[in-house]
């Protein structure tokens, strides 16, 4: 993997509680997604789903570098971003079941997860649609001299859209406090990046707009966190945007029941061997003060929390006819 040479401090130098917190977030996302997949495939969960198994470290590493009052924008693949930004399992699960207690009252669904009180605008399901939007949010912060930063998540596929060029360029010329986070999982839907980019090193594009870009191992949560911290600090200081390209891989279908036949077997296996959870667990265990029992306990606790949320979501109140015409205008 050809990442930008950087300095990520070894796991041994971090605070134990901080690391366990990151681990918990990553595992939470994986367990949440696996449960949602099961519910969807068994037919009890409505709608369509786009999931992020295998990409958990990107969301967690970036959001851990943000302050609670910073913002993120997301996409159709937003469950992990939402959990990393602090939305609750319950409000997401309720939303997926279309309940009024969901984070968007059941009106948004899987592709539009968000909670304004937690600094996450509803996911934008139009590829690249969140990029100019994030720049606009950052412009608002700049004009009002507020110290917030926006982390704008999008996929490798978004880079081909006009909205990417237009949004990124304006963020650059006005030095806006936005970190562009490209989760490069090698595929836009079924299409491999090599088919649709002559230069598939996405971070190179930053230079064309006059700002800094960096390619990071997106399956190494500490590397992501370190890179995000640098980027957030720079853009908060008024130095303008940074483009982070996080190399990662989607372990699950693009959506719904996609069987990923377009992903070659050897490629899948190579990336499965670089799973962000296993790798992080290895780093944690190597420290000596974190045991497998600690990690197992975290997972067991999360499984219980998710199970409780599913039970509650399945009984949560469904909208009624009067809800249909509410919330159209402010």
Partner 1 sequence: MKRQGIAEALRDGIAEEMTRDERVFCIGEDIGVPGGWGGAFTVTLGLSERFPGRIIDTPIAELGLTGIAVGAAMMGMRPIADVQYGDFLFLASDQLINNAAKMRYMSGGTVKVPMVMRAPIGATGRGSQHAQSMERYFTGVPGLKVVAVSTAYDAKGILKAAVRDDNPVMIFEHKLLYGSKGARAEPGAVDATSEIPEDDYVVPLDRAAVRREGRHITILGWLLMAHFAAAAAEILAGEGIEAEVIDVRSLSPIDYETIGASIRKTGRVVIVEEGPKTGGVSAEIAAGIMEHCGDSLMAPVVRVASADVPVPFSPVLENAYRPDVPRIVEAARRLAQT
Ligand X SMILES: Cc1ncc(C[n+]2csc(CCOP(=O)(O)OP(=O)(O)O)c2C)c(N)n1
- Residue placing its CB nearer to ligand X in the complex, 119 or 157: 157
By CB under 8 A, tell whether 330 contacts partner 1. no
Q: Which long-range contacts (CB under 8 A, 24 or more apart) does 234-240 make?
A: 235/138, 235/149, 235/176, 235/177, 235/178, 235/179, 236/147, 236/148, 236/149, 236/177, 238/175, 238/177, 239/175, 240/171, 240/172, 240/174, 240/175, 240/176, 240/177, 240/211
Residue 268 sits in the site that holds partner 1 (CB under 8 A): no
Contact call for residue 78 and partner 1 (CB under 8 A): no
Q: Does 261 bind partner 1 (CB under 8 A)?
A: yes
Q: How far is the CB of 153 from ligand X (least distance, A)?
A: 9
Binding residue for ligand X, selected from 49, 137, 152, 158, defined by CB under 6 A: 158
Whichever of 39 and 127 has its CB closer to ligand X, that residue is 127
**Cβ-contact 114, 104 below 8 angstroms:** yes
At residue 50, what are phi and psi to the nearest 5 degrees?
-125, 120
Q: Of the listed pieces 14-22, 151-159, 278-286, 321-329, which binds ligand X according to CB under 6 A?
A: 151-159
- Find the helix or strand (DSSP H, E) in which 135 lies: helix 130-143
Per-residue x/- track, 166-205, Mg ion (CB under 5 A):
-------------------x-xx-----------------
Contacting residue, 156, 214, 217, 245, with Mg ion by CB under 5 A? 156
46 binding partner 1? (CB under 8 A)? yes
Report the alpha-carbon angle 38-40-42, nearest 5: 65
Please list the residues that pair with 72 across neighbouring strands.
120, 151
CA 72, CA 114: separation in Å to the nearest integer?
A: 9
Q: Report yes or no: 91 and 120 within 8 Å, Cβ to Cβ.
A: no
- Distance of CA 234 to CAs 18, 145, 211, Å? 23, 16, 11
- Choose the stretch contacting ligand X; rule: CB under 6 A; options: 90-98, 125-133, 170-178, 225-233: 125-133
Query: Out of 96, 120, 127, 179, which residue is the one contacting ligand X (CB under 6 A)?
Result: 127
Interface of this chain with ligand X, residues 233 to 292, rule: CB under 6 A: 254
Least separation in angstroms between CB 236 and partner 1: 31
Rule CB under 8 A: is residue 132 a binding residue for partner 1? no
Point out which residues bind partner 1 (CB under 8 A). Answer: 46-48, 98-99, 104, 106-112, 124-128, 157-158, 160-163, 188-191, 195-197, 256-263, 318-321, 323-325, 328
Point out which residues bind Mg ion (CB under 5 A). Answer: 155-156, 185, 187-188
């Amino acid at each position: 993997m050809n990442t930008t040479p950087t300095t990520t401090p070894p796991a041994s130098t971090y605070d134990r509680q901080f690391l366990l917190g990151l681990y918990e977030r990553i595992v939470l996302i994986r367990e949440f997604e696996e449960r949602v997949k099961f519910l969807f495939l068994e037919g009890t969960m409505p709608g369509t789903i786009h999931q992020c198994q295998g990409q958990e470290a990107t969301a967690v590493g970036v959001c851990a570098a943000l302050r609670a009052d910073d913002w993120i924008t997301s996409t159709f693949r937003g469950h992990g971003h939402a959990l990393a930004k602090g939305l609750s399992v319950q409000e997401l699960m309720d939303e997926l079941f279309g309940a009024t207690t969901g984070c968007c009252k059941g009106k948004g669904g899987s592709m539009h997860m968000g909670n304004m009180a937690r600094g996450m605008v509803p996911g934008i399901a139009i590829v690249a649609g969140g990029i100019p939007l994030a720049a606009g949010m950052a412009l608002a912060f700049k004009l009002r001299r507020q110290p917030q930063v926006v982390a704008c998540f999008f996929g490798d596929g978004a880079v081909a859209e006009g909205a990417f060029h237009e949004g990124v360029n304006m963020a650059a010329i006005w030095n806006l406090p936005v970190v562009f986070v490209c989760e490069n999982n090698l595929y836009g839907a079924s299409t491999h990046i090599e088919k649709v980019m002559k230069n598939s090193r996405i971070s190179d594009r930053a230079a064309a707009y006059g700002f800094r870009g960096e390619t990071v191992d997106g399956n190494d949560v500490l590397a992501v966190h370190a890179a995000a911290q640098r980027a957030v600090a720079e853009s908060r200081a008024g130095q303008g945007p940074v483009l982070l390209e996080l190399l990662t891989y989607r372990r699950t279908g693009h959506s719904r029941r996609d069987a990923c036949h377009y992903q070659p077997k050897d490629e899948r296996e190579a990336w499965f061997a670089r799973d962000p959870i296993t790798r992080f667990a290895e780093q944690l265990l190597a420290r000596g003060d974190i045991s497998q029992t600690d990690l197992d306990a975290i997972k067991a606790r999360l499984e219980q929390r998710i199970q409780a949320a599913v039970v509650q979501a399945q009984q949560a109140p469904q909208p009624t006819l009067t809800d249909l015409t509410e919330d159209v205008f402010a």
